[in-house]
């Protein structure tokens, strides 16, 4: 294997967390690894809702933390919630200074919307549903002028190099119609900021390449993975047959849109006092139940928004138009889709993982903020907070800064196996069937068996191994958690074991032991 040595901090990923961390590492040299052209293929750019922050003088960080803890169903680290929400306002102000055009009122205050499980309107938006795209556009403009950052586009990280218990490098491969053999890049430190795991499911709102590879890569290196069982399913993916499914942002319900079935009946009112603005797990299970019963759930925006949906929510309007739907005439068909992974690589308050030399932030990380059910629009906030913290801790750990680093150029590399599409499809369907919105022991065991068979069918493909590692961790952690809590719902254990939950922690070896023929139900 060819080896490249560089004094750069190597960042895997090119979404919000990766770019924000890279900017905060200045002037230390940074090398970013991005499978797609910069700005494409990252979940951050697809985020519609916005960033949650107590910007209204009548609101408070303490109230935001309280809502976060309540939504997290007894599994949120309260200290983390309090510290993250306390930083939220500062990050909104910094993004504003970097050029993000947040929506404003006539008096130039931030225009705030209310989303599910928030007790106050505190979601800062851009052009209705364009927050992720516009924030990314602003940060990418800054990154393009950052002399200390080099971006390797069209390159995917496939493995971590661990020597004497510490991470010393990242194996990367060229993307394309196939995949090249790996090349090892040894850097000063490594930050994983490469997204979540939604694409491991057959129905997802995540970009096509976001399939748990970064979490799996860390797990295969020996990192501890926390809360892997907690996968959030968004209640209102647009059910139009697209893969991935376009999203109908929760802000539509914040504006008064309602959920109805094929009879036109509004079904959420009898299920929760907050109706359509109940916590996401409750709404997702209600949508799933309606779908399973053949009741064709839909989001009706006509009375609440009318023609305003076209101007105020352009991404939703565009998705409807592409799918041949007319939200001015009919309700929008919806389904529950894998959307956000609350679990991930376990980190401390500064983003450091259980492996020396390795930090993580964003959806690939698990900080304790989200618990069993992420509060709406806390995802981008967490990415910002931990990206800056990780950058500062990496800078502190490395000490003396180097000057400019020579540009890294990958050599020509031979072709290597890419994941077989039929195996990927089988993996995604198995995860949906057994580790989806509603789970039980029998289904989770079948899923673990399927994952093992998929992995064995292509043992020489590192990318497939990363996907199956994360899938194994999700299913095994879900099998271990013999209760229902937040987004994790076990039909054979439908109640919480106790009011206050416990976070889970697991290595890949732990998880794989549950998919062997000798495993026992925990």
Beta-carbon contacts of 504 under 8 Å, excluding residues fewer than 6 positions away, are 226, 227, 228, 229, 343, 477, 480, 481
Tokens 């800078």 map to which residue? 395
Q: Say if CB 9 and CB 211 are below 8 A apart.
A: no
Active-site annotation, residues: 280
Return the pLDDT at 132: 79
pLDDT grade for 46, boundaries at 50, 70 and 90: low
Return the pLDDT at 516: 66
- Model pLDDT for residues 239-272, shown as the tens digit of each residue: 999 999 999 988 899 899 999 999 999 999 999 9
Return the pLDDT at 41: 64
Q: Say if CB 408 and CB 150 are below 8 A apart.
A: yes
pLDDT grade for 520, boundaries at 50, 70 and 90: very low
Q: Say if CB 239 and CB 335 are below 8 A apart.
A: yes
Query: What distance in Å separates the CA atoms of residue 504 and residue 479, rounded to the nearest whole number?
Result: 12
Instruction: Report pTM.
Output: 0.94
Return the pLDDT at 254: 87
Beta-carbon contacts of 69 under 8 Å, excluding residues fewer than 6 positions away, are 76, 78, 81, 371
- Model pLDDT for residues 398-415, shown as the tens digit of each residue: 998 767 888 998 888 888
Q: Considering only CA atoms, which of 369, 350, 343, 518 is closest in space to residue 445?
A: 518
- Model pLDDT for residues 486-498, shown as the tens digit of each residue: 999 999 999 999 9
pLDDT (average), residues 20-35: 95
> Over the chain, what is the mean pLDDT?
93
All domains of the chain in start order, with CATH: 1-230+342-402+409-415 (3.50.50.60), 234-338 (3.90.700.10), 416-515 (1.20.58.100)
DSSP letter (8 states) at residue 200: G
pLDDT (average), residues 310-336: 95
Return the pLDDT at 402: 66
pLDDT (average), residues 83-95: 97
- Model pLDDT for residues 237-247, shown as the tens digit of each residue: 999 999 999 99
Return the pLDDT at 367: 98
- Model pLDDT for residues 131-179, shown as the tens digit of each residue: 778 888 899 999 999 999 999 999 999 999 999 999 999 999 988 777 7
Task: Tell whether omega for the bond before 244 is within 30 degrees of 0, i.e. cis.
Answer: yes
Structure tokens at 157: 């990280």
DSSP letter (8 states) at residue 112: E
Return the pLDDT at 1: 87
Q: Pick the range with the lowest mean pLDDT from 28-32, 358-362, 516-520.
A: 516-520
Return the pLDDT at 491: 97
Return the pLDDT at 353: 98
């Amino acid at each position: 294997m060819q080896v490249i040595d560089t004094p750069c901090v190597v960042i895997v990923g090119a979404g919000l967390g990766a770019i924000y961390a890279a900017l905060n590492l200045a002037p230390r040299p940074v090398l970013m690894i991005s499978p797609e052209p910069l700005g494409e293929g990252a979940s951050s750019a697809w985020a519609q809702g916005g960033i949650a922050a107590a910007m209204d003088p009548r609101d408070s960080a303490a109230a935001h933390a309280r809502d976060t803890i309540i939504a997290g169903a007894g599994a949120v680290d309260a200290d983390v919630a309090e510290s993250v929400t306390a930083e939220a306002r500062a990050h909104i102000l910094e993004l504003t200074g970097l050029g993000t055009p947040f929506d404003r009122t006539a008096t130039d205050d931030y225009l705030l919307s209310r989303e599910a499980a928030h007790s106050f309107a505190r979601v800062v938006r851009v052009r209705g549903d364009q927050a992720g795209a516009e924030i990314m556009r602003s940060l990418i403009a800054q990154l393009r002028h950052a002399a200390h950052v080099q971006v390797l586009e069209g390159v995917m990280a496939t493995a971590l190099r661990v020597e004497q218990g510490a991470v010393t490098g990242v194996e990367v491969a060229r993307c394309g119609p196939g995949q090249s053999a790996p090349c090892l890049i040894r850097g000063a430190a490594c930050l994983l900021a490469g997204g979540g795991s939604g694409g491991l499911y057959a129905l997802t709102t995540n970009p096509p390449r976001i399939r748990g590879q970064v979490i799996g890569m860390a797990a295969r290196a020996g990192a501890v993975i926390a809360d892997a069982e907690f996968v959030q399913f968004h209640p209102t993916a647009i059910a139009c047959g697209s893969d991935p499914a376009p999203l109908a942002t929760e802000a539509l319900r914040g504006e008064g849109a309602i959920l109805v079935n094929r009879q036109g009946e509004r079904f959420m009112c009898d299920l929760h006092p907050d109706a359509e603005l109940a916590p996401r797990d409750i709404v997702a299970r209600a949508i799933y139940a309606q779908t399973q019963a053949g009741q064709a759930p839909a989001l009706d925006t006509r009375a609440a928004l009318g023609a305003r949906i076209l101007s105020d929510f352009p991404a939703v309007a565009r998705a409807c138009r592409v799918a041949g739907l007319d939200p001015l005439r009919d309700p929008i068909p919806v389904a529950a889709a894998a959307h956000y992974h609350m679990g991930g690589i376990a980190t401390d308050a500064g983003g450091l993982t259980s492996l020396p030399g390795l930090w993580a932030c964003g959806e690939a990380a698990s900080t304790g903020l989200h618990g069993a059910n992420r509060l709406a629009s806390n995802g981008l906030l967490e990415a910002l907070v931990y990206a800056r913290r990780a950058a500062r801790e990496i800078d502190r750990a490395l000490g003396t800064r180097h000057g400019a680093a020579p540009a890294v150029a990958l050599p020509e590399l031979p072709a290597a196996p890419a994941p077989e599409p039929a195996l990927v499809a089988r993996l995604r369907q198995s995860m949906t069937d057994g580790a989806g919105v509603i789970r039980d022991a029998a289904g989770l065991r079948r899923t673990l068996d399927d994952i093992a068979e998929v992995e064995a069918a292509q043992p020489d493909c590192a990318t497939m191994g990363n996907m199956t590692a994360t899938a194994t961790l999700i299913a095994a952690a879900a099998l271990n958690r013999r209760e229902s809590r937040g987004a994790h719902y076990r039909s054979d254990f439908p109640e919480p074991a106790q009011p206050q939950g416990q976070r889970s922690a697991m290595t890949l070896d732990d998880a794989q032991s549950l998919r062997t023929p000798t495993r026992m139900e925990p």
